[in-house]
Amino acid sequence: MKAIILNEAGGVDKLMERDIEKPVLKSGEILVKVKDIGLNPMDVHLRSNEQILTHFMGAERPVILGWDISGEVVERAPDVAGFNIGDAVFGLTRGKGYAEYVAAQADLMIHKPENIGYEWV
């Protein structure tokens, strides 16, 4: 799958598209095929400052930024209730949002209202 990765803090020129493995679900997670992402101040702070990046994302590189996503559930962990394959969702990812697929904590995602598009959540 495609993802936008970051090997070191800096400007937007440090963001690079790469092919990486699709995430494997852990307990309490759903796999979301990302339709749209949001940029928020946290993304900018993390990307531009190595100390903040390491504090929130750890020292291992590369990292995938992105805290806000909308998309469609394509898989769920066996212990997840309330979400089904095909459900439209949006929410907070705590990083890893700049990717085609995100393993998101189910308790941080909600169902997208039918009357709005993915880009409006």
Is beta strand 29-38 parallel, antiparallel or unpaired with respect to 15-19? unpaired
The domains of the chain are located at 2-120
- Tokens representing residue 14 in the block: 């440090």
pLDDT of residue 77: 98
Q: Characterize 77-105 residue by residue with b for buried, 16 or more Cβ atoms within 10 angstroms of its Cβ, and e for exposed.
A: beebeebeeebbbbbbbebbbbbebbbbb
Provide CB contacts within 8 A for 52, sequence distance 6+.
9, 45, 46
The pLDDT > 70 percentage for the chain reads 98
- CATH superfamily, region 2-120: Medium-chain alcohol dehydrogenases, catalytic domain (3.90.180.10)
* 46-71 residue pLDDT tens: 999 999 999 999 999 999 999 999 99
Mean pLDDT to the nearest integer, 34-39:
94
pTM of whole model > 0.95? no
